[in-house]
Structure 1
Amino acid sequence: MATNSSLKNQLANKQNTVAKQVDPKALGLKSLLNTPTMKKKFEEVLDKKAPQFMASLLNLYNGDPNLREAEPMSIISSAMVAASLDLPVDKNLGYAWIVPFYDSKKGHKVAQFQLGYKGYIQLALRTGQYKAINVIPVYEGELKKWNRLTEEIDLDLEGATSDKVIGYCGYFKLINGFEKTVYWTKDQIEAHRIKHNKMKDKTALNNVWKSDYDAMAMKTVIRNMLSKWGILSIEMQKAFSEDEETREVKDITDEAQELETIDGEAVELTEDEEPKEGEKPSAFEQESFDIE
């Protein structure tokens, strides 16, 4: 039979549990990654590589002021896409990027997953169907002849007369002998970039286009080449659909979890994550993040 004392204890325990619940939007990226739910999610995808991946994500976050302005859950959602493709998010490697951008509908910055040209090459090689695959910038003086119909190209890779890039060339050869060559002029790349630019000023360079134009141009060429003529595995099809897709911040936790939920619901903090009474969150934890 329940006594007044036991009922009081149960009520006190329940209140303590509720006190441990906080809105994930009030947490910084570091605190979110430290929750058991998040650790479990990344471990399910990456197994033993999860700690290293999560550490690299924090390094990326710490080193990018623009990314630190993005909504944290959008960063994690984008990172989860990269993790599911087993691609590093270190922007210096060029396999995948987590890019912040201002979402005018939401009124703040969010993060967006983007696949780099090296990521496309890596996923293609994993299929075991490609004997060779590459994409390069073509400099002034290197292009001797290009036939758009037969796709025959004559390049003199030792004949560059300047550092000016005039176009980009992609090539692959399959194990079965099929091969494909494509060539895009710099004007074609620019027309494509302007057409898909989400900024008000369509001609303005933004994000990776601004920091590494050649990488984005080569990505454009190899993405178009593979989507039209390449052999696409299920993994590659997923990468194509995820690349540059603007996603809503969504719940990526196990619905069966009690207390530990995200995106508008409560998140249970571990002891070392609980804010002490009267203690303000650090500047790091107060930051919000958005994707581009």
Structure 2
Amino acid sequence: MATNESIKNQLKQQEQPKQMQERPQVNSVQGLLKNPVIQGKFQQLLKEKTSGFTSSLITLVNGDSYLSDSDPMSIITGAMQAAQLDLPLEKQFGFAYLVPFNSKEGNKWVKKAQFVLGYRGYIQLAQRSGQYKSINVGNVYEGQLESWNPLTEELVFNPEGKVSDNVVGYFGYFQLLNGFEKTVYWTKEQVEKHRVENNKSKDKSKLTGVWTSNYDAMAQKTVLRNLLSKWGILSIEMQKAVLVDESEEFQEEQEQILQDVTPVETATVEANPVAIEAIETDK
């Protein structure tokens, strides 16, 4: 995956007599996008989609005061991670985000951007693999869950039973073309326990980043990522996504800048009442 250091090293190798004149331009996202090395990397990854992707990146940065104040190279690095997965960064799609945060370097805090994969990004990558007949993830509100048997994986879910907007858990489900299917259900307490255990910041209980602005979307992603990585068929793309997502989601010495990176529409797909019997015998 692209890193700040690898890109910086290549930029150093192409120093020219005009370096001093170009320096102000390089210290911006637009300036970096004009650099031949970076242009070449995006072109290699996106081919004919390069122009549209970079234009949308500039629009995204210019329209977000938090992001535009972040280290330009970190924005480019995060954008390249999205490009490697061929996922758009526009917030309204909810496939992937660039989230600003403060990173401690020595005694200083530096604003940087971090690539964060959305649950819709996982669904998109699963669909591309051509192995999945159906895939779903969503909220379970108070009153909707009639029963859940983790042994047989029988989930009886009634969307008409909703009595409040209080989310009590999250379901995940997929069926492969070969007939194999898997259902999981996590209570909100299980999701929170997972979040805290994997949070490497000093204050483990504190909500940060997208967890603050859209807890349910991050919870759905956690359930879906766990479901697919344990029992799904992972394409090379999906393997990369899981590795990047797991390594980037929780970082030490970071204080996330709270901002809204929620998609314009965050509709959750709700299933009809269903009783799903697992075909897997060894869990």
TM-score, structure 2 as length reference? 0.77
Q: Which residue of 2 aligns with 1:287?
A: none
Q: Partner of 2:94: helix, strand, or coil? A: coil
Q: Which residue of 2 aligns with 1:57?
A: 57
Q: What is the CA distance between 1:291 and its match in structure 2?
A: 9.0
Amino acid corresponding to residue 22 of structure 1 in structure 2: R
- What is the rounded CA distance, in whole Å, between the counterparts of 1:183 and 1:192 in structure 2? 14
1:119-198 equivalent positions in 2, closer than 5 A: 119-198=121-200
| Aligned CA distance change for structure 1 residues 84 and 211 (closer, same or farther; 3 Å) | same
Residue by residue over 1:7-41, the C-alpha shift from the partner in whole angstroms, topping out at 9 and shown as x without a partner, is xxxxxxx99545445388x6111211122332222
1:238 correspondence with 2:243: no
In structure 2, stretches of 5+ residues that fail to align are: 1-14, 250-254, 258-283
Q: What is the CA distance between 1:45 and its match in structure 2?
A: 1.0
Percent identity between the two aligned chains = 54
1:32 correspondence with 2:32: yes
State whether residues 112 and 244 of structure 1, in contact with CA within 8 Å, keep that contact through their aligned partners in structure 2: no
| Aligned CA distance change for structure 1 residues 150 and 50 (closer, same or farther; 3 Å) | same
Q: Which residue of 2 aligns with 1:222?
A: 224
Q: What is the CA distance between 1:98 and its match in structure 2?
A: 1.2
Amino acid corresponding to residue 202 of structure 2 in structure 1: K
1:195-274 equivalent positions in 2, closer than 5 A: 195-246=197-248
- What is the rounded CA distance, in whole Å, between the counterparts of 1:180 and 1:55 in structure 2? 40
Residue by residue over 1:124-151, the C-alpha shift from the partner in whole angstroms, topping out at 9 and shown as x without a partner, is 1111110000101001110000112221
Q: What is the CA distance between 1:158 and its match in structure 2?
A: 1.3
1:18-97 equivalent positions in 2, closer than 5 A: 18-20=19-21, 22=23, 27-97=27-97
- What is the rounded CA distance, in whole Å, between the counterparts of 1:61 and 1:228 in structure 2? 35
| Aligned CA distance change for structure 1 residues 65 and 200 (closer, same or farther; 3 Å) | farther
- What is the rounded CA distance, in whole Å, between the counterparts of 2:150 and 2:16 in structure 1? 71
Residue by residue over 1:50-71, the C-alpha shift from the partner in whole angstroms, topping out at 9 and shown as x without a partner, is 1111111112212222222321
Which is further off, 179-188 or 93-102? 93-102
| Aligned CA distance change for structure 1 residues 16 and 239 (closer, same or farther; 3 Å) | closer
Q: Partner of 1:177: helix, strand, or coil? A: coil
| Aligned CA distance change for structure 1 residues 68 and 140 (closer, same or farther; 3 Å) | same
* Matched length: 236
Larger Rg: 1
State whether residues 127 and 233 of structure 1, in contact with CA within 8 Å, keep that contact through their aligned partners in structure 2: yes
RMSD (Å) for aligned C-alpha atoms: 2.3
- What is the rounded CA distance, in whole Å, between the counterparts of 2:169 and 2:16 in structure 1? 65
In structure 1, stretches of 5+ residues that fail to align are: 1-13, 248-289
Q: What is the CA distance between 1:179 and its match in structure 2?
A: 0.3
State whether residues 103 and 111 of structure 2, in contact with CA within 8 Å, keep that contact through their aligned partners in structure 1: yes
| Greater relative CO (CA pairs within 8 A, separation 6+) | 1
1:110-121 equivalent positions in 2, closer than 5 A: 110-121=112-123
State whether residues 112 and 291 of structure 1, in contact with CA within 8 Å, keep that contact through their aligned partners in structure 2: no
Amino acid corresponding to residue 23 of structure 2 in structure 1: V
| Aligned CA distance change for structure 1 residues 146 and 108 (closer, same or farther; 3 Å) | same
| Aligned CA distance change for structure 1 residues 37 and 204 (closer, same or farther; 3 Å) | same
Which is further off, 157-166 or 97-106? 97-106
- What is the rounded CA distance, in whole Å, between the counterparts of 2:173 and 2:246 in structure 1? 23
State whether residues 140 and 160 of structure 1, in contact with CA within 8 Å, keep that contact through their aligned partners in structure 2: yes
Residue by residue over 1:55-114, the C-alpha shift from the partner in whole angstroms, topping out at 9 and shown as x without a partner, is 111122122222223211111111101101110011221101111221123531222211
